[in-house]
Amino acid sequence: MRISELSRRTGVPVATIKFYLREGLLPAGTPTGRNQAQYDEFHERRLLFIRALTGIGELELSTVSGLLSAIEQRNSLPALYRAANRAAQPHLDTTKTVNDVVPERTDVDRFIADLGWQVNADVPGRERLAQVLASLRELGCGFGVDFFRPYAELAEGFAAQQLSMIPEEGQVDGAAAVARAVLLDVAIAALCGMAQEHLVAKRFGKSN
Protein backbone atom coordinates (compact mmCIF):
# COMPACT_ATOMS: atom_id res chain seq x y z
CA MET A 1 0.00 0.00 0.00
CA ARG A 2 1.08 3.61 -0.43
CA ILE A 3 1.86 5.93 2.47
CA SER A 4 -1.53 7.64 2.15
CA GLU A 5 -3.31 4.30 2.56
CA LEU A 6 -1.03 3.41 5.49
CA SER A 7 -2.00 6.70 7.10
CA ARG A 8 -5.69 6.10 6.48
CA ARG A 9 -5.59 2.61 7.96
CA THR A 10 -3.68 3.54 11.10
CA GLY A 11 -4.92 7.06 11.77
CA VAL A 12 -1.30 8.25 11.93
CA PRO A 13 -0.75 11.42 9.84
CA VAL A 14 1.54 11.10 6.79
CA ALA A 15 3.93 13.71 8.24
CA THR A 16 4.26 11.64 11.41
CA ILE A 17 4.88 8.45 9.40
CA LYS A 18 7.64 10.27 7.48
CA PHE A 19 9.15 11.39 10.77
CA TYR A 20 9.15 7.79 12.07
CA LEU A 21 10.82 6.65 8.81
CA ARG A 22 13.56 9.30 9.20
CA GLU A 23 14.07 8.36 12.86
CA GLY A 24 14.31 4.66 12.06
CA LEU A 25 11.25 3.73 14.13
CA LEU A 26 9.71 2.37 10.96
CA PRO A 27 11.78 0.53 8.31
CA ALA A 28 11.75 1.95 4.81
CA GLY A 29 9.17 0.63 2.35
CA THR A 30 9.94 -1.00 -0.98
CA PRO A 31 10.77 1.76 -3.51
CA THR A 32 8.38 1.87 -6.49
CA GLY A 33 9.39 5.18 -7.99
CA ARG A 34 11.46 8.26 -7.40
CA ASN A 35 9.37 9.47 -4.51
CA GLN A 36 7.17 6.48 -3.82
CA ALA A 37 7.36 3.32 -1.80
CA GLN A 38 5.11 0.44 -0.95
CA TYR A 39 4.31 -0.49 2.63
CA ASP A 40 2.83 -3.67 4.00
CA GLU A 41 1.11 -5.09 7.04
CA PHE A 42 4.31 -5.11 9.03
CA HIS A 43 4.40 -1.30 8.76
CA GLU A 44 0.75 -1.11 9.68
CA ARG A 45 1.19 -3.24 12.81
CA ARG A 46 4.28 -1.30 13.83
CA LEU A 47 2.46 2.03 13.51
CA LEU A 48 -0.48 0.78 15.55
CA PHE A 49 1.98 -0.40 18.21
CA ILE A 50 3.70 3.00 18.35
CA ARG A 51 0.39 4.82 18.49
CA ALA A 52 -0.96 2.59 21.27
CA LEU A 53 2.13 2.99 23.44
CA THR A 54 2.57 6.74 22.94
CA GLY A 55 -1.19 7.36 23.06
CA ILE A 56 -3.09 5.47 25.74
CA GLY A 57 0.21 4.08 27.11
CA GLU A 58 1.54 7.66 27.48
CA LEU A 59 5.15 6.62 26.89
CA GLU A 60 7.78 8.88 25.35
CA LEU A 61 8.67 8.06 21.74
CA SER A 62 12.28 7.37 22.76
CA THR A 63 11.03 4.81 25.29
CA VAL A 64 8.89 3.11 22.64
CA SER A 65 11.92 3.04 20.35
CA GLY A 66 13.88 1.20 23.07
CA LEU A 67 11.07 -1.32 23.51
CA LEU A 68 10.97 -1.94 19.74
CA SER A 69 14.69 -2.70 19.79
CA ALA A 70 14.23 -5.16 22.65
CA ILE A 71 11.43 -6.89 20.71
CA GLU A 72 13.45 -7.04 17.48
CA GLN A 73 16.42 -8.52 19.29
CA ARG A 74 14.09 -11.34 20.34
CA ASN A 75 14.89 -10.80 23.98
CA SER A 76 13.51 -13.38 26.38
CA LEU A 77 10.08 -12.77 27.88
CA PRO A 78 11.49 -11.91 31.34
CA ALA A 79 13.76 -9.33 29.68
CA LEU A 80 10.85 -7.88 27.72
CA TYR A 81 8.71 -7.61 30.85
CA ARG A 82 11.57 -5.92 32.68
CA ALA A 83 11.92 -3.47 29.81
CA ALA A 84 8.17 -2.74 29.76
CA ASN A 85 8.14 -2.33 33.52
CA ARG A 86 11.05 0.14 33.45
CA ALA A 87 9.43 2.02 30.58
CA ALA A 88 6.21 2.52 32.55
CA GLN A 89 8.05 3.24 35.83
CA PRO A 90 11.28 5.03 35.03
CA HIS A 91 13.85 5.70 37.70
CA LEU A 92 12.93 8.69 39.82
CA ASP A 93 14.43 12.14 39.48
CA THR A 94 16.27 12.09 42.81
CA THR A 95 16.44 15.88 43.05
CA LYS A 96 12.72 15.85 43.73
CA THR A 97 12.44 12.96 46.15
CA VAL A 98 12.99 12.45 49.86
CA ASN A 99 16.62 12.15 50.86
CA ASP A 100 16.13 10.51 54.23
CA VAL A 101 14.74 7.25 52.92
CA VAL A 102 17.29 4.87 54.45
CA PRO A 103 14.99 3.26 57.05
CA GLU A 104 12.24 2.77 54.48
CA ARG A 105 14.64 1.12 52.02
CA THR A 106 15.55 -1.45 54.69
CA ASP A 107 11.87 -2.02 55.46
CA VAL A 108 11.00 -2.51 51.79
CA ASP A 109 13.86 -4.97 51.26
CA ARG A 110 12.68 -7.02 54.23
CA PHE A 111 9.08 -6.82 53.01
CA ILE A 112 10.00 -8.09 49.53
CA ALA A 113 12.06 -10.90 51.04
CA ASP A 114 9.13 -11.88 53.30
CA LEU A 115 6.87 -12.04 50.25
CA GLY A 116 9.36 -14.37 48.60
CA TRP A 117 9.47 -12.13 45.56
CA GLN A 118 12.55 -12.70 43.44
CA VAL A 119 13.10 -9.36 41.77
CA ASN A 120 16.28 -7.68 40.63
CA ALA A 121 17.96 -5.31 43.08
CA ASP A 122 17.43 -2.45 40.64
CA VAL A 123 13.71 -3.03 40.03
CA PRO A 124 12.25 0.52 40.06
CA GLY A 125 9.35 -0.46 42.31
CA ARG A 126 11.69 -1.02 45.23
CA GLU A 127 12.82 2.60 45.44
CA ARG A 128 9.36 3.89 44.53
CA LEU A 129 7.76 2.04 47.41
CA ALA A 130 10.41 3.34 49.85
CA GLN A 131 9.85 6.90 48.55
CA VAL A 132 6.08 6.63 49.02
CA LEU A 133 6.55 5.45 52.62
CA ALA A 134 9.13 8.15 53.41
CA SER A 135 7.00 10.91 51.83
CA LEU A 136 3.88 9.94 53.78
CA ARG A 137 5.91 9.73 57.00
CA GLU A 138 7.24 13.25 56.40
CA LEU A 139 3.71 14.47 55.75
CA GLY A 140 2.62 13.05 59.10
CA CYS A 141 0.25 10.49 57.60
CA GLY A 142 2.59 7.53 57.21
CA PHE A 143 2.33 3.87 58.13
CA GLY A 144 4.55 0.82 58.21
CA VAL A 145 5.42 -1.15 55.10
CA ASP A 146 3.28 -4.08 56.26
CA PHE A 147 0.23 -2.00 55.41
CA PHE A 148 1.10 -3.04 51.85
CA ARG A 149 0.84 -6.78 52.48
CA PRO A 150 -2.75 -7.17 51.25
CA TYR A 151 -1.90 -4.84 48.36
CA ALA A 152 1.04 -7.10 47.47
CA GLU A 153 -1.23 -10.14 47.43
CA LEU A 154 -3.68 -8.34 45.17
CA ALA A 155 -0.79 -7.30 42.91
CA GLU A 156 0.27 -10.92 42.62
CA GLY A 157 -3.29 -11.76 41.63
CA PHE A 158 -3.14 -9.15 38.86
CA ALA A 159 0.19 -10.50 37.63
CA ALA A 160 -0.99 -14.11 37.66
CA GLN A 161 -4.10 -13.13 35.72
CA GLN A 162 -1.97 -11.38 33.11
CA LEU A 163 0.47 -14.28 32.81
CA SER A 164 -2.39 -16.70 32.30
CA MET A 165 -2.78 -15.15 28.83
CA ILE A 166 0.64 -16.32 27.70
CA PRO A 167 0.50 -19.75 26.06
CA GLU A 168 2.49 -22.50 27.76
CA GLU A 169 3.98 -23.70 24.49
CA GLY A 170 5.13 -22.16 21.27
CA GLN A 171 6.56 -18.88 20.14
CA VAL A 172 5.69 -15.89 22.27
CA ASP A 173 4.71 -12.72 20.42
CA GLY A 174 7.04 -10.16 22.00
CA ALA A 175 5.17 -7.11 20.72
CA ALA A 176 1.86 -8.43 22.05
CA ALA A 177 3.40 -9.19 25.45
CA VAL A 178 4.91 -5.69 25.72
CA ALA A 179 1.73 -3.94 24.52
CA ARG A 180 -0.36 -5.88 27.01
CA ALA A 181 2.06 -5.23 29.88
CA VAL A 182 2.03 -1.47 29.27
CA LEU A 183 -1.69 -1.14 28.53
CA LEU A 184 -2.82 -3.41 31.35
CA ASP A 185 -0.98 -1.09 33.76
CA VAL A 186 -3.16 1.70 32.40
CA ALA A 187 -6.25 -0.49 32.82
CA ILE A 188 -5.33 -1.35 36.41
CA ALA A 189 -4.95 2.33 37.31
CA ALA A 190 -8.27 3.08 35.60
CA LEU A 191 -10.05 0.31 37.50
CA CYS A 192 -8.49 1.34 40.83
CA GLY A 193 -9.58 4.94 40.29
CA MET A 194 -13.15 3.93 39.50
CA ALA A 195 -13.35 1.46 42.39
CA GLN A 196 -12.18 4.19 44.73
CA GLU A 197 -14.73 6.71 43.47
CA HIS A 198 -17.45 4.12 43.82
CA LEU A 199 -16.58 3.13 47.40
CA VAL A 200 -16.02 6.73 48.54
CA ALA A 201 -19.39 7.76 47.10
CA LYS A 202 -21.01 4.76 48.77
CA ARG A 203 -19.60 5.64 52.16
CA PHE A 204 -19.72 9.45 52.12
CA GLY A 205 -22.50 10.10 49.64
CA LYS A 206 -22.22 11.73 46.26
CA SER A 207 -22.57 15.22 47.77
CA ASN A 208 -20.43 17.98 46.33
Interface pick for its own copies out of 34, 139, 167, 171 (rule CB under 8 A): 139
Helix H or strand E segment including 38: strand 36-38
Q: Does 167 bind its own copies (CB under 8 A)?
A: no
Looking at residues 45 to 74 of the shown chain, list those that interact with its own copies (rule: CB under 8 A): 45, 48-49, 51-52, 54-56
User: Smallest distance, Å, CB 32 to its own copies?
Assistant: 27
CA distances from 66 to 16, 25, 78, 144 (A): 18, 10, 16, 36
Residue of 185, 78, 97, 165 lying closest to 135 (CA atoms): 97
Q: Does 200 bind its own copies (CB under 8 A)?
A: yes
Looking at residues 24 to 43 of the shown chain, list those that interact with its own copies (rule: CB under 8 A): none
Helix ranges restricted to H, 141-173: 149-163
Task: Report d(CA 75, CA 18) in Å as an integer.
Answer: 28
Count of residues engaged in binding its own copies, rule: CB under 8 A: 92
Interface pick for its own copies out of 14, 28, 77, 113 (rule CB under 8 A): 77
Nearer to its own copies, 37 or 44 (CB): 44
